[in-house]
């Protein structure tokens, strides 16, 4: 589950990294898209560190991914946001929650695998 969570959080980070290329400048605003790209780049670096077994990287990674998910919340309440953007925000928030839970679940050994 740990690696699955890291892969999911890494994919979300890639989506954030691409956000300046996919925005129309209004949904999300370019400033938000650039901020998301920076968060995505740092998140990717932290995913790489965590993948190599450095558990200290989880706290900043989780913090950044949750912050990124919170940046998507205004899409649910703002007027004039396209339905596709609202759906993408919902999927992103849900995937973030799943990824965070997956990296935090305790490692379980298979019975008899010793």
Q: Which residues contact 18 (CB under 8 A, 6 or more apart)?
A: 37, 40
4-51: per-residue pLDDT in tens? 999 999 999 999 999 899 877 777 788 888 988 999 999 999 999 999
48-106: per-residue pLDDT in tens? 999 999 999 999 999 999 998 988 888 888 888 888 888 988 999 999 999 999 999 88
Per the listing, tokens 């609202």 go with 86
Q: Which residues contact 25 (CB under 8 A, 6 or more apart)?
A: none
CB 44 within 8 A of CB 14: yes
Token reading at 25:
């400048």
Per the listing, tokens 């990294």 go with 17
Task: Give the pTM.
Answer: 0.84
């Amino acid at each position: 589950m740990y690696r699955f969570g890291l892969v999911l959080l890494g994919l979300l980070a890639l989506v954030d990294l691409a956000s300046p290329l996919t925005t129309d400048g209004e949904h999300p605003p370019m400033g938000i898209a650039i901020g998301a790209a920076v968060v995505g780049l740092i998140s990717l670096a932290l995913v790489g560190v965590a993948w190599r077994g450095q558990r200290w990287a989880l706290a900043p990674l989780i913090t950044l991914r949750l912050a990124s998910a919170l940046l998507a919340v205004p899409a649910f309440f703002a007027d004039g946001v396209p339905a596709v953007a609202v759906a993408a925000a919902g999927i992103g928030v849900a995937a973030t929650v799943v990824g965070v839970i997956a990296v935090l679940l305790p490692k379980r050994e298979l019975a008899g695998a010793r």
